[in-house]
Structures are given as C-alpha cells and as structure tokens.
Chains A and B, each alone.
Chain A
Amino acid sequence: GAVVSQHPSRVICKSGTSVKIECRSLDFQATTMFWYRQFPKKSLMLMATSNEGSKATYEQGVEKDKFLINHASLTLSTLTVTSAHPEDSSFYICSAGGPGETQYFGPGTRLLVL
C-alpha cells in the first residue's frame, strides 16, 4: 500500500518550453503533497508544499511563477516548469502525506532541458 507514481519518468525538452509532471497517490488520498529537487549526489531540496484545494507554499528561493503547482484533487498534484532552461535540468521527486503521518515518495522525473 501507499504507492505514489510520477509521470513522465523522464522528459527532454527544448529551452523555453513548459513541462508538466504529474504526481499521483494510487491507493490513498493525500491532502498534502510535496515537491523536491534532487541534485546529483546531493540530498533532496524541498521546493514547495501543496495542499489540496489551496495555493502551494513555496520554500525560500523557489520561484512560484516558474514552478507552478496545482493540487486539484486528493490524488493528483502537478508541477509545471514554465519556460524551462538548462539550469532547470534536474531530478524532480514528489511525495504524498499518507498513512501513519508518513510521506511516501514517487519514483522521480528526470528533466533534461536542451
């Protein structure tokens, strides 16, 4: 139980385009979801906390107009990287608050911006 999926698993896009990443809790409802960025050989950096039906809370230094987060239902949150640039290339991971007050993580999405 407590499975979180992400789609796509990897995406390559051109500089200037927008990319949408989906995060779904498959077997539980999640009022709270989180979006992280993981740099090579580094830890996870929290980007924002997403609550169903309300605006996301962004961490300091994260541009909310660049990283649009929508949490429209209890099982789906989306992260849209707008006007992507090569420096946005990274591994994006979502998690969902699930059973036992525990975060369950998705498999991640590798974004490469050319």
Chain B
Amino acid sequence: AQSVSQHNHHVILSEAASLELGCNYSYGGTVNLFWYVQYPGQHLQLLLKYFSGDPLVKGIKGFEAEFIKSKFSFNLRKPSVQWSDTAEYFCAVRLSGGYNKLIFGAGTRLAVHP
C-alpha cells in the first residue's frame, strides 16, 4: 500500500532560520505531490504542488519543494522562516491523474520563535 512519511513531527526554529521538512513516499508509479499547511485554527491550504516538469516547485509565501524521483522524496524548504510560518505542514501524495484520493503524511508541527 502507498504511504507517506514525514520525518520530523515537531520542529522548533528561530526567525530567519532556514527550514527543510522531509517527505518520502512509497509508490513506484507516477504520482502527484502536494504540500498543505494548516495554520492554528484554520483549514488546510495548498502551499505548492508538483505534477510534472521542473522538479523544483515554487509555492506561496516563499516556500519551495524539490521532487527527487530516485529518492522518492518531496522535501519542503524555505530559506528564512517567519513567526507567521508557525503551523502544521502536511505532505500528500496522489496516484497520478484526476481526482484520486490523497494519502497524507502524519504532519510536521513547526513552531517559529521571534
């Protein structure tokens, strides 16, 4: 069965630090990849997605992610975090095409201290 693993459950950073959140998936076929963010008390919002093409994807709020097919990874990065980035981040994988179901990772809770 397909699965998604996020290596870090909790990450604590100071403002201006760089961020990298790991995401690995297990599926040998073609996949679509997503990062969603859930700010405290809010619903899930799409940060970025990868379907095909350039494996380095840029999303909103300065986030980017790199798809490395050989490593089955889709890590999320931001060069300089802000206090407002405090949230929970979910990686999700979908078997390619259409509206197939998403498989979510367990999430990473990020706390950014001023």
Over the window 21-39 of chain B, the binary record of Cβ atoms lying under 8 Å from chain A Cβ atoms (1 yes, 0 no) is 0000000000010101000
- Contacts of A44 on B, CB cut-off 8 Å? 44, 90, 104
Contact B102 A97 (CB under 8 A): no
Enumerate chain A residues within 8 angstroms of B104, measured Cβ to Cβ.
43-44
Task: State whether the Cβ of A70 lies closer than 8 Å to any Cβ in chain B.
Answer: no
Bound: A95/B99 CA distance, A: 11
Interface positions of A (Cβ within 8 A of B)? 4, 31-32, 34, 41-44, 46, 49, 93, 95, 97, 100-108
Sampled A-B contacts (26; CB under 8 Å): A4-B43, A32-B99, A34-B101, A34-B102, A41-B109, A42-B106, A43-B90, A43-B107, A44-B90, A44-B104, A46-B101, A49-B101, A93-B43, A95-B44, A95-B102, A100-B49, A101-B51, A101-B99, A102-B34, A103-B99, A105-B36, A105-B43, A105-B45, A106-B43, A107-B42, A108-B43
Point out residues on B near A: beta carbons under 8 Å.
32, 34, 36, 42-46, 49, 51, 90, 97-99, 101-107, 109
